Amino acid sequence: MYTLIAITFGALLLAFNFVSKKKFSFIFDLLQPVFVASIVATATLSFGDNGCLWSTVLVSFVVLHFILSRFEKLRSTFFPPVIAVLIASLTLLLPSKPLYIGEYQFEFNSVDLWIIMLLGFFLPFMINWLSKKLGRYLKTGYKNERAFSRALFFLLGSLLLFASNFIASSLGPILVYLGFSLALFYMPKSESEWHLSLAFVPMVLIPVWMKLGGLDSINFDSGRSMMGLVLGFGLSYFSFVFSRVRAKIMLANSLVWIIVLFASVAVIMAGSVNTHFGGVDSFVFLLVAFGLAAASGINVQKNFAMMSGLVAVGLIFIPMTLSNVEVKNAVSTTSSKQKEETKVEDIYLQASQTWNLNGNYTFDQIASKVTFELGPKGGKTKGAMEDFKGFLSWNDEQKQYSVKVEFKMKGLTTFNSYRDESLQDKGYFNTTSFPVANYEASEIVEEGSEKILKGKLTMLGKTLPVDVRLKQAEGENVLIGKAQFDRSKFGMTPDPKEGNVVDLRFQLNLITN
């Protein structure tokens, strides 16, 4: 599928570069909706389950709005907002189809999603209105009025992108870009606004590059990222200068294309040789810088051709660099605790079929691990308990057992300091009033090689039964366990986007008393 989309962007590159806007205005007008539809399709397809269905719906928005915008009467100030609201309202009638993005789950009939798209739709109208009002009030003239438009775009657009990403994760920027672009179909002489829309494109495509490059995150503070940022601005300025030559135009254009495409390919491929020299991170920042610079450009046809070429390069060459070096680099960005969580599950599956514990034990607090995860299919929030202690008394002959574990809740981490801080508040673990959680069990039920602790978990002032399934590691005093509970039953506000059911994994290294 991505190969087909890459071919589409390649065709757009050629069309934007060679189709004369004056001679073939109708064909040129078709190129922009094709570009928007291709960007939206590329972004939504990266979301996996139902991504293709969502892509179809959003692309149909592009087609429908473009057709309606060809009617002159519908381009008046009144009709475009009404049409946008009506078409967005129709989506509320669609059957519920979930889309999983990271930790979030979205549905077709989520009102907040379409409000985000409508805000993106109203953004260019609002920018134009404000810039004209400010221009007339301050008597700035046409050129400064355009400068006001760009300044307002970067101010309001960045705020809207931030809010949309907070509300709808990676889907938010896609909807903002889609709404903004749909509005431009109805706006005559919207060339400067089309420039501004290119600033959204790199933000929209970040999840695509992460998926194709096998990355869990983008490193924002590395040298290779800064290199990509500087190179992106440099390439944009270089192409802008050479696009204004009046002699030997063909030679100048050829030189621009050779340098831009060669540099972008080199940035991507360098990462497969040495991750310090380039890779997906560098390419993402190159694209971001190019998009921001293009937003201030003049030749909209040239900028759309350039952006089409860069996207095609990413779709073709990033999958080619997904080698062991790239994978190792991606793994190194995850925390050591998250890697240990996988090991705990592996050990549980390979654990011993027999038990040889007898006596009293305490937990080795350095070697023992307690990890957890929650969230919908397709995205999990992972974390660990870093401050806990426990005692275990085990006597199989007399069938006497006792397990006591104390968790200090301020030791809970999700490997994100901002999120961890909010989890300490009243809406979640309320660590000021409930600094510890306790688990106690004295009854065991055998089930094959597993022993099931029939215990109780006390958290947030409530005590509820929680079963823990245990196995013993082969030839070691190490217990491997797993458990599951619903956090909302302990008083936390249920939220399917965050996840309610918590899956716990244990590796308890025992020290004989």
Cα–Cα dist 4/17, whole Å: 20
From its phi and psi, is residue 321 left (phi > 0), alpha (psi between -120 and 50) or beta?
A: alpha
User: What CATH number is given for 335-512 in this structure?
Assistant: 2.40.128.110
244, two tokens? 């204004």
Stretch (H or E) spanning 504: strand 501-512
CA distance 432 to 178: 44
Q: Which of 480, 333, 507, 502 is nearest to 415 (CA)?
A: 333
The pLDDT assigned to 167 comes to 82
Look up residue 491 and give its two tokens.
């008083």
Task: Please give the Cα distance from 13 to 290 (Å, whole number).
Answer: 16
Tokens of 322: 């997904």
DSSP string computed for 25-36: HHHHHHHHHHHH
Domain boundaries, the chain: 198-333, 335-512
Whole-angstrom distance, CA of residue 475 vs CA of residue 114: 57
Match 């389950």 to its residue by tokens.
Answer: 49
Supply 339's token pair. Answer: 């890697």
Are residues 270 and 278 in contact, defined by beta-carbon separation less than 8 angstroms? Answer: yes
The answer to whether the beta carbons of residues 216 and 305 sit under 8 Å apart is: no
Long-range contact pairs involving 63-70 (C-beta distance under 8 Å, separation at least 24): 63/33, 63/37, 65/182, 65/185, 65/186, 66/33, 66/185, 69/185, 69/186
Residue 443 one-letter amino acid: E
Length of the chain: 513
Residues 6+ apart with CB under 8 A from 6: 311, 312, 315, 316
- pTM beyond cutoff 0.75: no
**How do beta strands 436-447 and 412-413 pair?**
unpaired
Tell which residue, 329, 231, 246, has the closest CA to residue 282.
Answer: 231
Instruction: Give, for all 513 residues of the chain, the pLDDT tens digit.
Output: 677 888 888 888 888 877 766 666 677 778 889 999 999 999 888 776 667 888 888 999 999 999 999 888 888 777 888 888 888 888 777 776 666 665 566 777 778 888 999 999 999 988 888 888 877 777 766 556 677 778 888 889 899 998 988 888 788 899 999 999 999 999 876 677 888 888 899 989 988 888 887 776 676 666 788 888 888 888 888 887 777 777 777 787 888 888 888 999 999 888 777 767 788 888 999 999 988 888 776 566 788 888 999 999 999 988 887 543 444 443 333 344 444 444 444 544 455 556 778 889 999 988 899 999 887 655 578 889 999 999 999 887 878 889 999 999 999 988 877 678 888 888 889 999 999 999 999 888 888 778 889 999 999 999 999 999 988 877 678 888 899 999 989 998 887 667 788 999 988 889 988
Report how far Cα 83 is from the mean position of its chain's Cα atoms: 30
CB 348 within 8 A of CB 471: yes
